[in-house]
Amino acid sequence: MEKRRSFGAGLRALGLAFLLSTTAIATSQAQSLDEALIHAYETNPRLLAARAQLRAVDEQVSQAYARYRPNVFIDGTAEGRTVDSSTGSFQIWTNAIGLNLRQNLYEGGRTVAGIRSAVQQVGQQRAVLTSIEQEIFLNTVRAYTDVVASRRVVELAGTNQERLERQLQATRDRFEVGEVTRTDVAQAEARVAGSIADRIRAEGNFQQAIANFEAVVGLRPTNLTSDEVTIQPPPSLTTAQSRAENNPALIAAEFAFEAAQADVRVAQGALLPTLDLDAGLRYVDNPSRVLNYQTDARIGAVLTIPLYQGGAEYSRVRQSRQIVDQRRREFDATRRDVIELTTAAWEGLQTATAQTRALEQQVRANTLALEGVQTEAQVGARTVLDVLDAEQELFQSEVDLVNARANRVVALYTLQSAIGELTAEALGLTVDRYDPSVHYQTVRTQAFGTEAGTNRTVFQDIDFREEWGLRRPPE
């Protein structure tokens, strides 16, 4: 029987070793939290899609600038005519080709306002991209800490099972000599069965954590460590709330308000006159029976003064003003949400930190208590149930401590996200940072070309709020 027990314990140890080694089979390995963040930054499809979306929004600026440029086109006609007159009938075949140019000179300020609106929308989308980057990073931190914590729980569950199995064997031996009752043996057997269930559950959670890590980061975890956190939280809640002004959701709301302000001026421009330059050159072959060809050139100005356009233009002005009010209210709501999020994140971090300290003390106390109970049980001062309870309390406190440490790491990064500092730049990741200004500057005033591209250069962004004098909505 002793050989069977040793063989079974060996199989369990081998199975546990194999389970823990499943995180080391990937050829591309994320050894540290920073490496996991870098890999997610470079490969996460949702983040890559958000960058493509930003590049698409960049094109709105190019389209707005296009209104400064002329429309140039060629037109041609070919027609045959049959003419009947008192002198007889005849046919004329006429071919014509023309080169035309139309250049807007003034359209009520809509071009300038349209450019400003487009630029503010780019700024808004950049803030959205930052928000998505922070979300991906926070998910990566959660996935990373889940793997570390669940792996540690598997180890603790295995150790707890082995400890209880030794206790069960000792209880059986004592039962054989009449020191304990059959009830004591049954209690020990029940605890072993419970420890097996705990281990199986821990192993399942571990595999789920691995799958989630792969989905978020894009590779299998290996050799993850739990001492990777080097960032420092704000020293106080007041400081955290002040730094929350950099929250990307709040910045996006600012840009949305400014874009709405510009859209009002676009709508108002429809009520004002427009002035266009119109020019053209035309060649006509065989225009009549007496002319073989004819050329003409023209240039002139076209002034259009709108008097009444069915009332839709007035409706659009009213509509745009209501959208401004909407964006102002949305900004106020976002600011409240950010303050609430920052406060909750701060309190969550304080709670997790305090829980971690308390649980560290509990583990130390339970370790000493188990040693004492085991010693007292040897002289009959404690029962088997007392030992089993002490072992269970130690195991549970160890698991709680592992989870509390993981929760503290997540709480710390959640606070960083709330104050807008969970980005590759703020974390100081050694990675070529995506620079949205490269594509923007390339296409901003680009007049020709259909090729779309990406860019991966060192971050050198433009502060749109400073460049365009971004103002906070009035309270």
Q: Give the Cα separation of 440 and 430 in Å (integer).
A: 24
Output the pLDDT for position 3. 45
Contact call for residues 122 and 464 (beta carbons, < 8 A): yes
Q: What percent of the chain has pLDDT over 70?
A: 87
pLDDT score of 451 more than 90: no
Element of type H or E holding 98: strand 88-106
Segment 444-450 mean pLDDT:
84
**Does residue 210 sit in the same domain as residue 282?**
no
pLDDT score of 142 more than 70: yes
What count of other Cβ atoms lies within 10 Å of the Cβ of residue 263? 24
What count of other Cβ atoms lies within 10 Å of the Cβ of residue 19? 18
User: Where is pLDDT greater, at 228 or 231?
Assistant: 231
Structure tokens at 56: 């698409």
Closest to 160 in 3D by CA, of 200, 184, 196: 196
Q: Is residue 9 in some structural domain?
A: no
Q: If pLDDT is split at 50, 70 and 90, which confidence band does 137 have? A: very high
Check the CA dihedral 369-374-380-384 and report its sign. positive
Domain of residue 102, CATH code:
2.20.200
Output the pLDDT for position 80. 82
pLDDT score of 171 more than 50: yes
**Does residue 200 sit in the same domain as residue 171?**
yes
Q: Give the Cα separation of 247 and 241 in Å (integer).
A: 10
Contact call for residues 460 and 434 (beta carbons, < 8 A): no
pLDDT score of 471 more than 50: yes
Output the pLDDT for position 465. 52
Output the pLDDT for position 118. 95
Q: Give the Cα separation of 88 and 3 in Å (integer).
A: 125
Poorest-confidence range of 82-91, 136-145, 328-337?
82-91
Q: Which domain holds residue 280?
A: 71-81+89-106+272-305
Q: Is residue 47 in some structural domain?
A: yes
Structure tokens at 71: 């429309």
**Does residue 336 sit in the same domain as residue 278?**
no
How does the average pLDDT of the chain come out, rounded?
Answer: 86
**Does residue 97 sit in the same domain as residue 192?**
no
**Does residue 424 sit in the same domain as residue 284?**
no
**Does residue 26 sit in the same domain as residue 52?**
yes
**Does residue 255 sit in the same domain as residue 277?**
no
Q: If pLDDT is split at 50, 70 and 90, which confidence band does 454 have? A: low
**Does residue 416 sit in the same domain as residue 296?**
no
Q: If pLDDT is split at 50, 70 and 90, which confidence band does 475 have? A: very low
pLDDT score of 224 more than 90: no
**Does residue 173 sit in the same domain as residue 320?**
yes
pLDDT score of 165 more than 70: yes
Burial of 419 (0-12, 13-18, 19+ CB in 10 A): buried
**Does residue 140 sit in the same domain as residue 215?**
yes
Q: Is residue 213 in some structural domain?
A: yes
Structure tokens at 214: 């792969």
Contact call for residues 366 and 393 (beta carbons, < 8 A): yes
Contact call for residues 125 and 57 (beta carbons, < 8 A): yes
Q: What residue has token string 């130390």? A: 364
pLDDT score of 462 more than 70: no
**DSSP assigned state of 245:** G
Q: Residues with Cβ < 8 Å from 345, sequence gap 6 or more? A: 240, 411, 414, 415, 417, 418
Segment 208-212 mean pLDDT:
95
Output the pLDDT for position 30. 43
The tens digit of pLDDT for each residue in 36-63 reads 999 999 999 999 999 999 999 999 999 9
Segment 369-378 mean pLDDT:
88
Q: If pLDDT is split at 50, 70 and 90, which confidence band does 166 have? A: confident
The domain tally of the chain equals 2
**Does residue 152 sit in the same domain as residue 279?**
no
- Which residues make beta-bridge pairs with 301? 277
Amino acid making up residue 50: A
Q: If pLDDT is split at 50, 70 and 90, which confidence band does 336 have? A: very high
- Inter-helix orientation angle 182-217/110-176, to 10°: 160
- Which residues make beta-bridge pairs with 283? 97, 295
The tens digit of pLDDT for each residue in 245-260 reads 999 999 999 999 999 9
Burial of 310 (0-12, 13-18, 19+ CB in 10 A): exposed
Q: Give the Cα separation of 370 and 269 in Å (integer).
A: 81
Output the pLDDT for position 147. 94
Output the pLDDT for position 226. 67
